[in-house]
Amino acid sequence: MNTELIQFYKYLITDYIKGLGVFDEAERHLKEAGVATVKEEEKDAYQKTDVTGYDYFYLSSIVRVDKIPDDIKKELIAAMENKADSSLMERAKTLAVSLIPEVLMADRNNSKNFTLMRYDLGDDGFVADDEIAFGFASDASFDEKGCFVSKKSEDERVNYMFGQKEAIQKAFLDKTGYKLRLFVRI
């Protein structure tokens, strides 16, 4: 049941996340530039279970449904089992969004403790307890010999992604009041 509830929770907050618009410009830019998305077999567990519908962004926070109060959890489960009931679904979405700090952050009042989320990023792989984690990933374009299709395009892709990181994190904080930790995976 927890796995189902985790996925349902992610589904419930998708409209809210997309409604913020903080990822839209970068998403559009990369699509228009023809930047490759990460191949299915190279996606990490968070990408594989993401439901936001973005091509380059995905929720990386651990979804802690165990922190949801039992009475609210019952309402979410009722909505999960009755998705056709629009009033239950709207109530569930409202509840899910209101619980973002508790469910997606280890401790919203503690910026001193960190969790290692991405071992492959070294010191950049840590998330403070008061941050929500998202991944920002794309793939290089290679020719049949395994070489970059264009070194210039690859440099532009990498520079663009790292160049957007701070602006996206700031926009997220400005719109939600929550800190975002954006992992750039190139």
Domains contained in the chain, number: 1
Cβ-contact 46, 58 below 8 angstroms: yes
Q: pLDDT tens, 31-64?
A: 999 999 999 999 988 999 999 999 999 999 989 9
Residue 152 lies in a domain: yes
Which value, to the nearest 10 degrees, does the dihedral of the CA atoms of residues 103, 104, 109, 113 take? Answer: 120
What percent of the chain stands above pLDDT 90?
A: 70
Residue 77 lies in a domain: no
Residue 7 lies in a domain: no
**Residue 186 pLDDT greater than 80, yes or no:** yes
Residue 111 lies in a domain: yes
Cβ-contact 38, 48 below 8 angstroms: no
Give me the mean pLDDT over the 85-91 stretch: 96
Residue 86 lies in a domain: no
Domain of 111, in residue numbers = 20-65+101-185
What is the pLDDT at residue 48? Answer: 94
pTM: 0.88
Residue 89 lies in a domain: no
Residue 87 lies in a domain: no
Residue 34 lies in a domain: yes
Phi, psi of 108 (to 5 degrees): -60, -15
Q: pLDDT tens, 96-138?
A: 999 999 999 876 666 665 675 665 554 577 788 889 999 999 9
Which H or E element spans position 90? helix 86-98
Query: How far is the C-alpha of 77 from the C-alpha of 73, rounded, in Å?
Result: 6
